[in-house]
Amino acid sequence: MPRYIRPANLAEAAAALASRQAVVLAGGTELYRVAFPPAGATVIDLARLDELRQIVCGEAGLCLGALARWSDLLEAELPDWAAPLREAAEAISTPQIRHAGTLGGNLASRTGEGDGAVALLVLQARARVCGPAGFGELPLAQFLTRPPDDVALLTHIMVPPPGPHTRAGFRKLGLRKALGPPIGAVAASLRRDRAGAVERACAAVAAPGLRPMRLMVLEERLHGLPPGSDPSPLVDAAIAALPEPRDDEACSAGYRRHALAALLRRLLAELDGAP
Ligand SMILES: Cc1cc2nc3c(=O)[nH]c(=O)nc-3n(C[C@H](O)[C@H](O)[C@H](O)COP(=O)(O)OP(=O)(O)OC[C@H]3O[C@@H](n4cnc5c(N)ncnc54)[C@H](O)[C@@H]3O)c2cc1C
């Protein structure tokens, strides 16, 4: 059997990460589904760390505790600019999963299907982490690609407000109402300058077999796009250049790619439409 501990505070939890085969447990919806901790592991249950449940919105943006659940995010009055996060929360599976699953577990999971990660990548979020060596903060993209032996504890997610006139959203195909794999998810944000050219664009995707990632080349190519120009060829090229997503019982890899491109084209068109 794995050893099981419930630290009373963050310092205790951070120290416990130095244990042999440390495994962090939040809501358990992903952990117990994908990889039950092996005998010899130390399971660090975060349940007593109430300071990690807070959702705070201020002038500096959002400070989200890693233990905030999807249902907490839906109940919180998130600002309009955080639409991708709210829309991702709405798209998460069933009420039971939304009530147990946490934002931190979604971001820390290595299964690559994190809806929260896609939404928060376009919101330029940063991850606060702690470990036996102390506390730190890094861009979310860097946290998502940390090496497999990195057992840092994600404590908070910091989300700065975007510049004025930025519109952003999240779209997903294949709602996971049961255990079936989703087809894919996209998020994007767009800001145009006074002349109508794209001043700043951000896009991210995830699908089974394709970890959540920003589409940096697409973002650069969208920059400066004049009003009325169709971004579809740029989107299609960016999705075609992605690594192969998974082929599974839900759909083929080819269909996943096709769906991601269609979702992103539509989302960009919606963000460009009338408010
Ligand atoms: C039926 C079903 C449907 C689902 N539907 C969706 C869906 O629609 N969209 C989606 O994105 N996901 C979905 N999931 C996956 C999962 O439920 C969510 O990602 C959820 O948010 C995970 O959070 P958790 O607290 O349960 O994580 P846990 O299961 O507790 O942990 C997941 C992983 O993250 C690590 N971890 C957890 N918290 C931390 C932390 N604070 N710091 C460091 N590491 C940590 C754990 O060690 C583990 O490796 C689904 C899962 C199931 C079983």
- Which residue among 10, 29, 155 is best mutated to probe the pocket of ligand 1, counting the most ligand atoms within 8 A of its Cβ? 29
CATH number of 168-272: 3.30.390.50
**105 CB within 6 A, ligand 1:** yes
| Cα(45)–Cα(238) distance, integer angstroms | 40
Domain spans of the chain, in order of start: 168-272
Segments of the chain scoring below 50 in pLDDT: none
Decide if 84 contacts 187 (C-beta within 8 A): yes
- Angle at the Cα of 268 from the Cα atoms of 266 and 272, rounded to 5 degrees: 115
pLDDT of residue 177: 55
pLDDT of residue 131: 84
The pLDDT tens digits of the residues spanning 218-264 come to: 999 999 999 999 999 999 999 999 999 999 888 999 999 999 999 99
CA of 44 to the centre of ligand 1 (A): 15
| Cα(215)–Cα(186) distance, integer angstroms | 10
CA of 175 to the centre of ligand 1 (A): 16
Largest CA distance in the chain: 64
Ligand 1 atom nearest the C-alpha of 70 is 21
Query: For residue 16, what are the contacts with CB-CB under 8 A and spacing of at least 6?
Result: 5, 7, 22, 42, 44
Q: Which position has the token pair 């809806």?
A: 115
**109 CB within 6 A, ligand 1:** yes
pLDDT of residue 34: 74
